A and B are shown apart, each in its own frame.
Chain A
Amino acid sequence: MSGTAPGADRVIAAGGRAAGTTRRGQAVKFAVLLALAVLFLLPMYVLLVTGFKPFAEATAGRAWLPPRQWSLQGWAAAWEALAPGLWNSVQMVVPSAILSALLGSMNGFVLARWRFPGADTVFTLFLFGMFIPYQAVMIPLQQMLVSAGLMGGLFPLILAHTVYGIPICTLIFRNYYAGIPQTLIEAARVDGAGMLGTYARVVLPVSAPAFAVTLIWQATSAWNDFLFAVFLTGPNSWPVTVQLNNVAGSMVVPYNQQMAAAVLASLPTLVVYLVLGRYFMRGLMAGALKG
């Protein structure tokens, strides 16, 4: 479970090839990967290209063609429509991602390395929570929040994303912490550390890859969520997904505006994946999500 290529990275970096490969084989692989990469980029291409067209040119018939006339009108209109939602989204995503990651980390630590009787059962029960269809809880959830007087602002949404993120964050951390040798925990104990001390001294310092995975995963799913957003918030607190949906609902659909808005709404999470993607990959490959 080493999670690193068996020396391949170093070999490639040194200009050589890994064992068991041939020059022709590598070339063929690269060609196939390139072709797949182009296919993968097609939807983004259409999104971007349509966003840069003026209203009259932004039709399905011209989807593949680059703009005859490059225009920023779609982007300006999209920004205006989305700006209030973008800030709401940020305010909602950051606390819920951090909270659920923290809770997941503490849970994962206890369930992996500071177990109590029945820990496995608790873990299994948590895991199952990952799988429930959210439509089923929508109206009971809303009713519960209203009768407790907790509706209003972004609180309900933050609550929902935090709570429903706990199972998967716990899974990620538990699997990750299973790789910490028991002896290290013992050593800390012998030194006199209690549970929290052990957590702070031994576990937290090595948790970075798992935090990377959970924060990225939680932030992305909260940012892109539509169902909870449209039910648990009012017009003053709508996140960007709801606003994006409203741009789409017009009678004469301004496709350039809509596609520009789609790109704008996706930009934060895309940037996160582009910039932090390697940490996500590293975390995944260190066994964080492989069960």
Chain B
Amino acid sequence: MRRRWTSVSAAALGAVLVASGCGGGGGGGDQVEVFSWWTGGGEEAGLNALIERFEEDNSGIEFVNAAVAGGSGTNAQAVLEGRLQSQDPPDSFQGHAGAELLDYIEAGYLQPLDDFYDEQGLREALPDQLVEQISYDGSVYSVPVNIHRSNVMWFNPSVLEEAGVEEPPQTLDELIEALEAVEAETDAIPMAVGAQWTVDHLLESVLLGSLGPDGYNALWEPGADWDTPEVAAALEDFEAVMEHTQEESAAEDWQEAAQRVPEGEAAFNIMGDWAAGYFDELGKTAGEDYDWAPSPGTEGTYMWLSDSFTLPVGAPNEEAARTWLELVGSKEGQDAFNPLKGSIPARSDADPQAYADSPYLSAALEEWQAGPELAGSFWHGVTVDNRWKNDIDTAVGLYLQDEDLDGLQAALHQAAQAE
């Protein structure tokens, strides 16, 4: 009733006002509108490679690149949300595989892709745990295009040498010792960190390093108990690490903070493996200016996250959208996209040659294909939905202001209980 009233009144107003530049919009001739937040650097390069391929193979379809920048996707997600709620979806949109996708699935925004998967043979090509993460009630809802690793510790070999740290630390205790050594012996910042979300990112590595993959994975069951001495110990390690970060961190993007490592301004930085692509773009040399190791305590575990593309309900150009998904899920598509993007492909039949140029990517691909333990990143949408993630982020943000560790643990516990 209300909906009809608003339509009628809005239509009446529309008739009264002079319209200009009206029309345009979706439907009509063949096109496919793809929504993402890849607007710069390697991400844009990777997307452009896919677009080029798409347009070559499908000359009748116009590709509309609806990428929106800002806030690691949060602006894009906000805009997307508005469109989905108004039932004006794009033909396909980027979403993190995992619980983040669950919000969309539960809201009824996504179409299941089971038949698509069968046609394309994707269930065989993709690792099982990954397919599980994008399934709901037995149906699968998106096409993953890549895998990123979250638990990577980047370090500067020269700074470590200067500090007398012989080997990259392998446990959290060793890390804290190393941080103290850097503090005492050098002018460098021991652990570079950036704005609030990078602290969330650091927290997940510390949790994994302290609790191990089983302990970590258990945290993400709804109603999980965070009020344990193990979690308390992990948070104490977290506090110790945070004490060795630079005071101006809130004003730095992840790039500015990460960049300090190859520049020699900082010893360590814990950031996802997209940093490798960034360092390469800066002209830094792997092994010399920077090097990497799994975050302390997480050797043998791949903390993963994955970008995937979806098929919204009511997509105006569904055929074209499926064609896009076909490309995105194919070996050729993934091997064209990922080397530029700086990630490894989701498919397990990737061609290692395509990644030979990047020392990091070759090593990562090898490790992924060897079948490590898996832990889903919480910050990047695998293990928690948006509400839980926001509760954690708020708790961490408040902790950064009041430094109340007990308060942090209580808030984290409450966030898990509320699910």
Q: Per the CB under 8 Å rule, do A and B touch in the complex?
A: yes
Is A31 on the interface with B (CB-CB < 8 A)?
A: no
Q: How far is the CB of A86 from chain B (nearest CB, A)?
A: 14
Note all chain A residues with C-beta closer than 8 A to B67.
Answer: 246
Contact of A153 among B13, B24, B33 (CB under 8 A): B24
Is B282 on the interface with A (CB-CB < 8 A)?
A: yes
Known pairs A147-B6, A153-B21, A236-B64; A139 contacts B85 (CB<8 A): yes
Is A138 on the interface with B (CB-CB < 8 A)?
A: yes
Beta-carbon contact of A155 and B22 below 8 Å: yes
Beta-carbon contact of A250 and B87 below 8 Å: no
Note all chain B residues with C-beta closer than 8 A to A246.
Answer: 39-40, 67-70
A-B contact count (CB 8 A): 130
Q: How far is the CA of A143 from the CA of B37 in the complex (A)?
A: 23
Beta-carbon contact of B278 and A148 below 8 Å: no
Is B88 on the interface with A (CB-CB < 8 A)?
A: yes
Beta-carbon contact of B25 and A234 below 8 Å: yes
Contact of A231 among B21, B26, B79, B278 (CB under 8 A): B79
Beta-carbon contact of A92 and B75 below 8 Å: no
Proximity string of chain A (215-236) to chain B, C-beta cutoff 8 Å, 1 when within and 0 when not: 0000000000000001100111
Is B223 on the interface with A (CB-CB < 8 A)?
A: no
Proximity string of chain A (157-199) to chain B, C-beta cutoff 8 Å, 1 when within and 0 when not: 0110010000000000000000000000000000000000000
Note all chain B residues with C-beta closer than 8 A to A268.
Answer: none
Note all chain B residues with C-beta closer than 8 A to A248.
Answer: 69-70
Interface centre among A235, A248, A253 (most CB of B within 10 A): A235
Note all chain B residues with C-beta closer than 8 A to A99.
Answer: 17-18
Proximity string of chain A (21-47) to chain B, C-beta cutoff 8 Å, 1 when within and 0 when not: 000000000000000000000000000
Counting contact residues on chain B (CB < 8 A from A), the size range is 35 or more
Beta-carbon contact of B70 and A249 below 8 Å: yes
Beta-carbon contact of B17 and A162 below 8 Å: yes
Beta-carbon contact of A242 and B24 below 8 Å: no
- How many A residues, CB 8 Å from partner? 39
Beta-carbon contact of B41 and A148 below 8 Å: no
**Interface hits, B37-89 → A, CB 8 Å:** 37, 39-44, 64-70, 75, 79, 82-83, 85-88
Q: How far is the CA of A235 from the CA of B277 in the complex (A)?
A: 28
Is A50 on the interface with B (CB-CB < 8 A)?
A: no
Q: How far is the CA of A136 from the CA of B66 in the complex (A)?
A: 25
Note all chain B residues with C-beta closer than 8 A to A242.
Answer: 68
Contact of A236 among B19, B24, B88 (CB under 8 A): B24
Beta-carbon contact of B69 and A148 below 8 Å: no
Known pairs A152-B25, A154-B21, A231-B79; A251 contacts B11 (CB<8 A): no
Is A266 on the interface with B (CB-CB < 8 A)?
A: no
Note all chain B residues with C-beta closer than 8 A to A95.
Answer: 18, 20
Beta-carbon contact of A145 and B65 below 8 Å: no
The 9 closest A-B pairs by CB, nearest first: A249-B69, A250-B40, A251-B41, A152-B25, A148-B10, A154-B21, A146-B86, A153-B24, A155-B22
Residues on A lying within 8 angstroms of B by beta carbon are 91-92, 95, 99, 138-139, 142-155, 158-159, 162, 230-231, 234-237, 242, 245-253
- In the complex, 17 of the A-B residue pairs with CB atoms within 8 angstroms, ordered by the A residue number, are A95-B20, A142-B82, A143-B85, A147-B6, A147-B86, A151-B25, A155-B22, A162-B17, A230-B75, A234-B25, A236-B24, A245-B75, A246-B39, A246-B67, A249-B40, A252-B255, A253-B255
